[in-house]
A = this chain, B = another copy of it.
Amino acid sequence: MSILIINNQPKQSTRVRAQRYEYFCNYKNCYIFAMKKNKLLLCSNTNNQLLRTKQAMDELPERIRIKDIARLADVSVGTVDRVIHGRSGVSEKSKKRVEEILEQLNYQPNMYASALASNKKYLFVSLLPQHVEGEYWTAVEKGITDAVAAFSDFNISIKMCYYDAYDYTSFTSAGNAIIAEHPDGVIVSPTIPQITRNFTDHLNEFSIPYIFIDSNIPDLHPLAFYGQNSERSGYFAAKMLMLMSDKADEIVIFRQIKEGIIGSNQQENRDKGFRIYMKEHFPSCRITELNLHPKYPIEDEQLLDAYFAEHPEVTCGITFNSKVHIIGEYLEKRGIKDFNLVGYDLLKRNVTCLKNGSVSMLIAQQPEIQGYNSIKALCDQLIFKKEINCINYMPIDLLTVETVDFYLDFQK
C-alpha cells in the first residue's frame, strides 16, 4: 500500500513510499488514517489512491499534542489539562514533569482542541430591548444566532431575554431572572448606568462575564464593548446635516420618549455629540425637539402635523434612534419635499425612505457584526482563553441614495 507523507513545510508536499502498514480495519468502506506528530499518513482500503490532506494535517496535529504531552510525562490527559489551565489537583511531581515537557516542546495550548475534548456546556444569555421583526435589534440578534451556530461545536447555547426600554423595572426584573439562571456569560444592551449597575454588580458577584452591546458604560467594566462611539457619531451626524442644510437657523431633533425616558443610551450620547458640534460650529442655531411616543405610532402623525404647523420654517431634522422612517413616511404622505432628514440604521423602511428621497442620509453601524462578535468574545474568553479587545468601535458608515445599494450588496 502506498502512503503519502506530507511534511509540515510551507510549500512542498513530498510523496514517498513509506513502510507497509497492516490493513487496520475490515469494516466496509472505511478509510484509514494514521497520524504521528507532524505527519499525516493516509490511505484507503479500497484502492491505492493517495489523497493529499495537508489541510487536515494542519489542523489535527495541534489537536493531539496534549496527548503527546501526557504520554511523554507519563500522566493522564486530565493532569496535563489541569497543569495547562492552572487548576489544582495535581501532585507537585507530576506538575513539574508536565511543565518541563511543555517548556521543551514550547507548547502553545490549543484551546480549540481542549474545548472540543471537553463536555462543558455554556449557557449565554442576551438581554436586549423588546422589539418586533424588522426593527433594529433583529439585525443584532441575527448576528448572535449566526455566531451561536458557528460555535455550536463547543456546546454553547443562547437564551434571549428582553426588557422594556422605557421601563427601568423591566430591566431589573429581567436581570434578576438572568442571575437566577446562572449563565456562563451575558450580552446586554445597557439601560441607564444606575440601573445597569445593579445588574452588573450581581454578575460580578457570581463572576459572570458580560459584554455591552450598542452602548458602553466604561465605569461598569464590561469584558468587551461592541458598538459605535455614539458621541462621535452624533457629532459627525451634525456636521453632515449642517452641510446639507445650508446653515439652517433651526433644527428639529425627533425623539422617541415615554414619560421622560429616552430608552437608549445611544440616543442620549448621539444627542450629546450632536449638540457639541452645534455649539462649536453653529452656536446660534436653534434646536427644537419633537417627542414622538415609542409605543403609539398612531399618534405620531398628529404630533408631526402639530409640530410642522407651529414651525413651518424648519427644513432639517435628525433622529438618533433607528426609526427615521416614521418621519420619512410622514413627509412622503404630506408631500413635503426639500426637508433634510438624517437618521440611523439600514432598516428596510429607512432604506426605502432614503431611496424615495424623504431621508437624505443614513448612518449605519454593522449591527450583525456587533451581535456576532459579542458571542465570539464570550467564546474567546471562556473557551479559547484568548485575549479580548475591550473597546470595539464599529465604523460610522454614511450612506446616501447613491451609495446604499453598493454597501448592501457588499455586506452580503
Contacts and interface: CB of A to CB of B under 8 A. Distances in A.
A267 to B, nearest CB: 19
A34 B45 CA distance: 10
Contacts of A326: none
Nearest to A398: B398
Given A21-B24, A152-B11, A409-B393, A403 B236 contact: yes
Contacts of A10: 152
Interface stretch (A25-33, A165-173, A194-202): A25-33
A117 B407 contact: no
Interface in A116-153: 116-117, 152-153
Contacts of A37: 29
A21 B31 contact: no
Interface residues of A, number: 70
Given A52-B117, A239-B402, 17 more contacts: A22-B26, A29-B68, A31-B33, A31-B34, A32-B33, A32-B35, A33-B34, A33-B35, A47-B76, A53-B60, A53-B116, A55-B116, A56-B59, A393-B406, A394-B410, A395-B407, A398-B398
Contacts of A221: none
A230 to B, nearest CB: 12
Leading 8 A-B pairs by shortest Cβ distance: A24-B24, A33-B33, A236-B402, A396-B403, A243-B243, A31-B35, A52-B116, A395-B410
A9 B28 CA distance: 22
A44 interface: yes
Given A37-B29, A397-B397, A235 B402 contact: yes
A110 to B, nearest CB: 11
A192 interface: no
Interface string A218-248: 0000000000110010011001000110100
B53 A63 contact: yes
B25 A51 contact: no
Contacts of A398: 398, 403
Contacts of A56: 56, 59-60
B402 A232 contact: yes
B402 A406 contact: no
Contacts of A54: 116, 153
Nearest to A247: B246
Given A393-B406, A403-B396, A63 B51 contact: yes
A400 interface: yes
A22 to B, nearest CB: 7
Nearest to A246: B246
Interface of A: 10-11, 19, 21-37, 41, 44, 46-47, 49-56, 59-60, 63-64, 67-68, 70-71, 76-77, 113, 116-117, 152-153, 228-229, 232, 235-236, 239, 243-244, 246, 366, 393-398, 400, 402-403, 406-407, 409-410
Q: How many copies does the complex hold?
A: 2
A49 B67 contact: yes
Nearest to A71: B46
A18 to B, nearest CB: 10
A317 to B, nearest CB: 17
A268 to B, nearest CB: 19
Contacts of A235: 402
A34 B366 CA distance: 43
B395 A406 contact: yes
B21 A406 contact: no
A285 to B, nearest CB: 16
19 contacts: A10-B152, A23-B24, A24-B24, A25-B34, A29-B36, A31-B35, A32-B35, A33-B34, A47-B71, A51-B63, A55-B153, A228-B406, A236-B402, A239-B402, A366-B410, A393-B410, A394-B406, A395-B407, A397-B397
